[in-house]
Amino acid sequence: MRSILLDPGHGGSDSGAVGPTGLKESQVNLRVSQRLGPLLEESGTRVSYTRTSDVFPSLSARTAQANREGVDLFISIHCNWWTDPNTTGVETLVFSTASSAHPIACRVQAALVTATDEPNRGVKTRTNLAVLRDTRMGALLPEIGFISNRATETKMRSENYLGVIARAIRDGVFGSATPLPPLLGDSGRNMLILSETPITSGQAEGWAISKNATSVFVGLAGLFWELAPEHGGVNPAIAYAQSALETGFGRFGGVIDATYHNTCGLKTSKGGGDKDPEAHHRFKDWEEGVRAHLDHLALYAGAPSYPRSNSPDPRHFGWLAGEGSTIETMGKSWAPNDKEYANKLVRMMGEMKAIPAVPEQPDTEQPESARTRCPSCGALLKLEVTNG
C-alpha cells in the first residue's frame, strides 16, 4: 500500500455524535487518525489527512482531495451512535462487496473485534455515503464503537484504548490480522434451541481455554455435551455459549460466584432483583446446575414432555413452555435490555466452530469403578485401569 488518505470524520462546527458525558465523536476520530498515521508510515506508506485539527472540510472537499492525490486507499474514521444506550459493537462499511477495499475491510473488522473484544457487527455495504460513493479508489469506513454507550465512551477517553484501535486498523490494512470465523448471520440467530451441533465438546473446551476461562468452566463443556440429550435435545453449544456470557467464562464477578453452581443466573422460584444475591438459586453441585440450565432452555423451547415434575430448574413454570424456540428469542427472555444478546451468542458459537477439532479416541469399556466425576466441575472422567 503506497499511499493512504486518512479522514477523521466530522470536525469543526460538526461534532458528530456526542456521548452521554459529552465526548465528541469528532475528537475521537481525530485522535485515532493521529495515532494511525505514524503506524502506517512505519511500513513505508505515504499518509495524508483531510484534517489535522478541529475544522470541518466538506464531504465534497474530502473526496476531491482523495481523487486529486490519487491515493491507493481512503479510510474514514467514525464512531457509531444509537438511541438505545446499551447497543455496542464495531462494524466496517464499504460501498459494495465488489470494491477493492472489501477484503481490506474484512481484515480491519477482524482486527478491531479481536483487539477491542466488542461485538462483531460485520462488514456492511452503504451506497448512500459520499465518502464511499464518490472516491475513485477503494474506501472503507470503520465504525470503531458506539459512543452512545457509556462504557464505550469511557474507553474512548483513554489514549491507550485509542492506540489499540489504531494498531488494529493498521494490522487489518497490511494483512496481519487473523480472519474471524464467518458470522452465522440471520440463520444463526434463527437457530433452534432444540437442535444438533457439529461443534464438539473438545472444540468448546479449546475455545474456553482461548478465552482464559477458569479451569472449572473449561471442564463443564463435557458435562453440557453429556447431559444435553437427556434434557429435550438442547443444543449444548448454545447452552455453553450462554453460560460463558452469563458467568464471564466462570469468573463471575457479579452478585453471585462459583459457589452457587449456577451456570446461567437462574433465580429462585420467588425471583427478585438482578442485584440481589438471595434472588439467585444455589445448586448443590455443577451437575445439578447444568441440568437446571438445560431444563429451563428445553421448557422455553417447547421440548416434548416438558414441563417435568422433577426438574431441578427452580423456575420451571408451565406458562414458559414454548415461549421461544430460537437464539433470537433467548435474548428477549434472558436479557431484554441487551439488543446484542443473540448476536453475542452467535459470535461465540462461530468462534467455537473455528477451533480445530481433535479426533475422538475410541471409547473402550471400563468398569464402573473406573468412571467417576471431577470433584470440581462434575465432568465425567475416564481413569486408566491397568491389570496386575
What residues act catalytically? 143
Cis peptide before 85 (omega within 30 of 0): no
Spatial separation of the C-alpha atoms in residues 388 and 6, rounded to whole Å: 73
Cell 474530502: give the residue. 62
Spatial separation of the C-alpha atoms in residues 289 and 378, rounded to whole Å: 10
Spatial separation of the C-alpha atoms in residues 86 and 385, rounded to whole Å: 53
Strand partners for 234 = 194
Q: At what angle do helices 236-247 and 201-210 cross, to 10 degrees?
A: 20
DSSP 42-84: TTT-EEEES-SSS----HHHHHHHHHHHT-SEEEEEEEE--SS
Cα distances (angstroms) measured from residue 264 to each of 37, 107, 293: 44, 33, 7
For residue 177, which phi and psi values (nearest 5 degrees)? -85, 140
Residues 30/54, Cβ–Cβ less than 8 Å = yes
Q: Provide the H-helix boundaries in the chain.
A: 25-41, 59-69, 102-116, 130-133, 150-156, 159-173, 185-189, 201-210, 215-227, 236-247, 286-301, 327-334, 341-354
> Following CA atoms 331, 332, 336, 338 in sequence, which dihedral angle do they give, to the nearest 10 degrees?
30
Helix, strand, coil percentages, rounded to 5, for the chain: 40, 15, 45
Strand partners for 382 = 371
Residues 132/95, Cβ–Cβ less than 8 Å = yes
Residues 78/141, Cβ–Cβ less than 8 Å = yes
Report the 3 state secondary structure along 249-260: CCCCCCCCCHHH
